Structure 1
Amino acid sequence: MADIGAGTGIMTKKFLDQGFNVYAVEPNEEMRMAAKEYLKDYKGFILINGSAENKTLDNQTIDLIVVAQAFHWFNMKNFREESQRILKPHGKVAIISNERITEDTINKEIAETYYKYCPNFKGFSNGLMGSTEIYDNFFLGSYTLKTYDNPLIYNKSTFIGRHMSSSFSLTEDDPMYPMLVESLSNLFDKHSKDGYLILPNITKCWCGIINR
């Protein structure tokens, strides 16, 4: 199997623990080196310097492609063609995504904070959350969708760190950076209990065969 956009190897490890051989494809050198160190003791771990659109894997060698939390960054057309190239006949693609329950008060207030301070914020998951069009187009309508409750638990440090690490968030040299941190800190204090905050979240998995 191939984990595309493997990052530091968090999802890759889960598959390795189940006994799979995994090609971890990651274009970012810093993340790739972190994954190399993190997963160095796994015999089935193969690290690949490549991207979703250019995986550098051989034709028809992969049974399953997995994408976790990275799909909205890909060039859909090129990723689809490249996936068709490396998948074996009847091989599948699984796309896994965490989605906030946006109707919940805390997630509404986080979004309001981002809109206030982060000009590049277009909505969670780049504004694609809740939309099925992108998956309908990718799989041509032929897929299954499973949804799981998956609330996320944070302490103050991990809550702020998670929300400051988003691609649309501010860097430390931005004059609004301290105000964003303070706003997130205040949100945590408002909604936490006994030092922890539970963020309503679901995990979705779209899985299907890409017709040629």
Structure 2
Amino acid sequence: MIDDSTRRFTNRVADYVKFRPAYPREVATFAQVELGVAPGAAVADIGAGTGLSTKLFLDAGHPVTAVEPNAAMREAADAFLAAYAQDGRYRSVAGTAEATTLAESSVDLVSAAQAFHWFRKDETRREFARILKPRGKIVLFWNSRLLEGSAFLEGYEALLQRFCADYAQVAETYPDAAAMAHWFGEGFEHQTVFPNAQLLDFDGLSGRLMSSSYAPQPGDARHAPMLAALRELFDTTQQDGRVNFAYETRVYAGRPVRAGT
């Protein structure tokens, strides 16, 4: 993973658990139908964070190993998914995308969600190929916040640009469709998009903002003015006490291209 990315969210775990969006269940259905991944096939969820993406595949009937280097996030996932651990379908390990600790040819599907943009891409490609079984597949997906389409969405983007110094740098690390096709190479098979959204009151909106690694924290001179601007944005754009925080869940999938193939 990119330097310091494994520690970037350590002091934001509580907000991440409470306020980050889940992923559409259609992602797991897509893996089963379009990629031919059998129900019950073993999944490795890489950069699993607090377990939101892991739960998606657990609920679809898969045993899942969550690979997460950040101890605080891994502990949050273990608490969140404790019921699945009791029946043996869930376990977590301390590992990275580039060095998962998993055995060679041990899983049927590798998944990675929001964390993918932090991975070192060449090393990750080799590691995914190593841990996948010969007919194994890869599915990569993340929630991409819509930047326009409503006064709230456009105002929120302007707020980030104004108050969050490294927001643009982080946003630019998300690959586009052309970059994903290049990453998969000859193994690229599918891409699709699913709609997703959160309806948030002000507490939910402020928590969602503070779950972002680039948001200034208390003690930073920008923190209080940022929250004041967020309050003003909420008050002027809310409907029935909520704002629609809209996303597209972008999905890219295929097979690994192994050395010598």
Shift of 1:53: 0.9
Which residue number corresponds to residue 10 of structure 1? Answer: 52
Pairing 1:24–2:66 present: yes
Q: 1:80 aligns with which of 125, 131, 149?
A: 125
Which residue number corresponds to residue 219 of structure 2? Answer: 173
- Name the SS for the 2:82 alignment partner: coil
- Name the SS for the 2:83 alignment partner: coil
Shift of 1:128: 4.9
Asked if the contact 1:139–1:210 (Cα under 8 Å) also holds between the matched residues in 2, the reply is yes
Deviation string 1:164-185 (CA, Å, 9 cap, x unpaired) is 2211111211011001111112
Note the 1:108-127 alignment, pairs <5 A. 108-122=154-168, 126-127=171-172
Shift of 1:102: 1.9
State the alpha-carbon separation in 1 of the partners of residues 178 and 146 from structure 2.
Answer: 19
State the alpha-carbon separation in 2 of the partners of residues 28 and 151 from structure 1.
Answer: 27
Shift of 1:133: 3.0
Q: 1:100 aligns with which of 121, 124, 145?
A: 145
Which residue number corresponds to residue 183 of structure 2? Answer: 138
Asked if the contact 1:5–1:25 (Cα under 8 Å) also holds between the matched residues in 2, the reply is yes
Q: 2:136 aligns with which of 84, 91, 94?
A: 91
TM-score, L = length of structure 2: 0.76
- Name the SS for the 2:137 alignment partner: strand
State the alpha-carbon separation in 1 of the partners of residues 197 and 82 from structure 2.
Answer: 30
Note the 1:196-207 alignment, pairs <5 A. 196-207=242-253
Which residue number corresponds to residue 190 of structure 1? Answer: 236
- Name the SS for the 1:122 alignment partner: helix
- Name the SS for the 1:140 alignment partner: helix
State the alpha-carbon separation in 2 of the partners of residues 38 and 165 from structure 1.
Answer: 17
State the alpha-carbon separation in 2 of the partners of residues 206 and 129 from structure 1.
Answer: 13
TM-score, L = length of structure 1: 0.93
- Which structure dedicates a bigger proportion of its chain to helix? 2
Instruction: Output the amino acid matched with 1:8.
Output: T
Instruction: Output the amino acid matched with 1:159.
Output: L
Asked if the contact 1:72–1:126 (Cα under 8 Å) also holds between the matched residues in 2, the reply is no
Pairing 1:60–2:60 present: no
Asked if the contact 2:65–2:93 (Cα under 8 Å) also holds between the matched residues in 1, the reply is yes
Range 47-56 or range 93-102, more displaced = 93-102
**Structure 1 vs Structure 2 CA RMSD:** 1.6
Distance 1:70 1:173, change over 3 A: same
Aligned pair count reads 211
Shift of 1:130: 7.4
State the alpha-carbon separation in 1 of the partners of residues 114 and 244 from structure 2.
Answer: 20
Asked if the contact 2:50–2:77 (Cα under 8 Å) also holds between the matched residues in 1, the reply is yes
Runs of 4+ in 1 over 6 A off after TM superposition: none
Unaligned stretches of 5+ in structure 2?
1-42
Deviation string 1:155-205 (CA, Å, 9 cap, x unpaired) is 111111111221111121101100111111211111111111112321111
